[in-house]
Structure 1
Amino acid sequence: MPKKHPQSQPLRLKVPLPDSLPAFGYSSPAVGLGSCFVEAVGSRLQRLKLPVALNPLGIQYNPLALSRALQYGLGEVTFAGDDLIESQGIWQHFDFHGVLGHPEREAAARQMQSAAEELKRAVAGMDRLIITLGTAFVYEHRASGQMVANCHKVPAHAFRKYRLSPKAIVDALQPVLAACKAHRPGLEVVLTVSPVRHIRDGVVENQRSKAALLLAAEALAEAEYVHYFPSYELMMDELRDYRFYKTDFVHPSEEAVDYIWSCFASVAFEEKTQEQLDVVEAIVRASEHRPLFPASAAHQAFVRQQLQRIAQLEVHLPRADFSPERERLQSALLK
């Protein structure tokens, strides 16, 4: 007698998502701060023309660096050119990512001052704040006692490395988040823990670091305006297969980021906003299209149609910047 097939079972556990996150939209300016994972999600928000300021000071990994970045945004800390250091021929600052460094001191100072001012403007007008916590490990510069956001290839012996406790993380972030809320009463904060592995700390050490971040995020989310989104859990439980990583086995693949993004979008966007996002994405894709026959009447009509759609959208979405798409489309028009 043939065996009966067992009833189909799901092949993976589903991570429960929050019922909803604070609504993100074209009338809700946002700031995204944190590790490279917030860059992956934030770049998708920017591509869809949502008003997002993304890591103006550069990527930040640890909670103390993120707390200090918000202090810059609130004006509690100001940029000081005297704090620049030279490392391997590049002028850097321990509060800023290396991308803002420069071989010329004055140029580095201008770039960092501009970045600090951009962050301050963004924080002054933000309605949403997304923070991605990357690691609980911090580096203290021995000579100055400063906790650094980036070591800038300064020799390791110049720093003391240690892991923050959950309480230390909460103590660092809770006051500055409360100050942001006092400054912007309508502010809503979304916290998440990056699924990117910090393997240089060690495999076991990375897990302990993430555990500290997760416990701290739980405590911070006790505030009614702070919400937790399970990026880390989605990667660890729903996508727990190395095919969802890049070849370094550390960073999530594009497919994985797309999946986590889709989960975020399902709870962060209202129906009307999702409809607007679909229209905007169609225009962005249309501007990137490379036709086989660009001079054809059909393609020229298509380009003019997209320019008309941009003009219409700019009336309804005044914060959205379509200038890159307009330039690409206008360059495709025959003179």
Structure 2
Amino acid sequence: MKLQTQIPLAKAHHQIDYNSQLLLLGSCFVEHIGDKLHYFKFQSVQNPFGILFHPVAIENLISRAVKQQKYTEEDIFFLNERWHCFEAHSDLSSSSKEQLLLHLNQGLEKTLGQLKKATHIVITLGTAWVYETKLSNTIVANCHKVPQKEFSKKLLSVEDIEKSLTNTIAIIKTINDNIQFIFTISPVRHLKDGFTENQLSKAHLMTALHKILNSPLLLNAVAERSLSEVPPLGGRGLLFPSYEIMMDELRDYRFYAEDMVHPNSLAIQYIWEKFTYVWISEAAQATMVEIDSIQKGWQHKSFHPDSEAHQQFLKKLETKMQSLQKKLPFLEF
């Protein structure tokens, strides 16, 4: 008896291992994937400019980083006792103008450095709804609680999204033509936009992504693939179905957080395991088991920390850690 519809998945080509260099950009769901990769000690950089919800925000960041266009005082503003930048998340906002500019420009350097050496880039798209300033007709990444009357809200068309993603891909390929693109649509429901509006937004993102991944302008020779996979981007791109897994495999509110909008920890773990199956090599998965054992060992709280048994436990843990670090010198615990 089958009590669940399941999305067929096939292992990807060019999988992630412990030599891979990863860059993760996008909505809050990419933060969950990034946290998992960080826990398992993969070499990754995650959202240097904080959460970016829509494709234009990601395009703007990539473009500025690759062109090395530094931020200046003209790019920031003061509101509610803090300095902000419309191209970055409020996590970067600061009470100091100089501190904000420093963090913004460090973020650009970090993004460019990782783009140049990245083997994989994970881009998670959250919404097609954007806010555009009435004063300059500029689409912002974050409104920073600027009064809503200062913005026009609009839905990016499929063509708008396709153009933005095409620009992002083209810019990245000017400095790294071998990078593996991994696209995914966030399963987080943006219900503040409205129920129908959220579905329309996700549909625009999905349609644009499929057009991009199937575009004859971007595809090289495409090998035969499983029906569960989207044809690769220049032989190196794929759409991972995190949104589809949430909607079709986890169709139950017990998989949502208390806000009934965000996936809960169980859902995140479920989707992570699917991601691991598709994208992480078997050799890396074996190393992940060792790292998980060490991580849990360090988190263990002993009732008798001075006991001989606990000291022996710590010595064994240290030996395991050093053995693993000999194989992977970049590991830090």
TM-score for both structures, normalised by structure 1? 0.90
1:265-299 Cα offsets, whole Å, 9 max, x none, are: 01111111110111111111111111111111111
Deviation at 1:177, TM superposition (A): 1.0
Question: Is 1:51 the equivalent of 2:54?
Answer: no
Deviation at 1:21, TM superposition (A): 5.1
Deviation at 1:157, TM superposition (A): 1.0
Question: Is 1:166 the equivalent of 2:158?
Answer: yes
Residue 290 of structure 2, aligned match among 263, 266, 279: 279
Secondary structure, aligned partner of 2:132: strand
Aligned-partner Cα distance in 1 for 2:254–2:85: 37
Aligned-partner Cα distance in 2 for 1:255–1:99: 26
Residue 129 of structure 1, aligned match among 118, 121, 136: 121
Check conservation: 1:72, 1:120, Cα contact below 8 A: no
Check conservation: 2:68, 2:108, Cα contact below 8 A: no
Residue 207 of structure 2, aligned match among 211, 215, 219: 215
Aligned-partner Cα distance in 2 for 1:32–1:63: 13
Check conservation: 2:17, 2:283, Cα contact below 8 A: no
* Aligned residue number for residue 228 of structure 1: 239
Aligned-partner Cα distance in 1 for 2:155–2:41: 37
Matched residue type, 2:122: I
Check conservation: 2:22, 2:45, Cα contact below 8 A: yes
Deviation at 1:72, TM superposition (A): 3.0
**Paired-residue identity, %:** 35
Instruction: Give unpaired runs (5+ residues) of structure 2.
Output: 215-232
1:158-191 Cα offsets, whole Å, 9 max, x none, are: 1111111112111011122123134222210100
Matched residue type, 1:14: Q
Check conservation: 2:63, 2:171, Cα contact below 8 A: no
Aligned-partner Cα distance in 1 for 2:258–2:168: 37
Q: 1:149 to 1:256 in 2, by over 3 A?
A: same
Deviation at 1:18, TM superposition (A): 3.7
Residue 189 of structure 1, aligned match among 148, 168, 181: 181
Aligned-partner Cα distance in 1 for 2:71–2:296: 39
Check conservation: 2:62, 2:171, Cα contact below 8 A: no
* Aligned residue number for residue 217 of structure 2: none
Deviation at 1:230, TM superposition (A): 0.3
Question: Is 1:140 the equivalent of 2:151?
Answer: no
Matched residue type, 2:113: R
Secondary structure, aligned partner of 1:183: coil
Matched residue type, 1:41: I
Matched residue type, 1:28: S
Of residues 122-131 and 180-189 in structure 1, the stretch that sits farther from structure 2 once superposed is: 180-189
* Aligned residue number for residue 308 of structure 1: 319
Check conservation: 1:30, 1:126, Cα contact below 8 A: yes
Matched residue type, 2:44: V
* Aligned residue number for residue 294 of structure 1: 305
Aligned-partner Cα distance in 1 for 2:325–2:64: 32
Check conservation: 1:23, 1:269, Cα contact below 8 A: yes
Secondary structure, aligned partner of 1:186: coil
Pairwise CA RMSD: 1.3
Structure number with greater Rg is: 1
Number of residues of Structure 1 aligned to a counterpart in Structure 2: 314
Instruction: Give unpaired runs (5+ residues) of structure 1.
Output: 1-8, 323-335
Check conservation: 1:27, 1:319, Cα contact below 8 A: no
TM-score for both structures, normalised by structure 2? 0.91
Aligned-partner Cα distance in 2 for 1:80–1:16: 48
Deviation at 1:78, TM superposition (A): 2.8
Check conservation: 1:220, 1:226, Cα contact below 8 A: no
Aligned-partner Cα distance in 1 for 2:265–2:90: 25
Check conservation: 1:63, 1:172, Cα contact below 8 A: yes
Matches within 5 A, 1:65-80: 65-80=57-72
1:243-279 Cα offsets, whole Å, 9 max, x none, are: 1101111000100000000000011111111101111
1:66-87 Cα offsets, whole Å, 9 max, x none, are: 1112113323543223211112
Of residues 101-110 and 62-71 in structure 1, the stretch that sits farther from structure 2 once superposed is: 101-110
Q: 1:311 to 1:230 in 2, by over 3 A?
A: same
Deviation at 1:114, TM superposition (A): 1.9
Check conservation: 1:32, 1:130, Cα contact below 8 A: yes
Check conservation: 1:62, 1:149, Cα contact below 8 A: yes
* Aligned residue number for residue 200 of structure 1: 192
Check conservation: 2:11, 2:277, Cα contact below 8 A: no
Secondary structure, aligned partner of 2:143: coil
Secondary structure, aligned partner of 1:10: coil
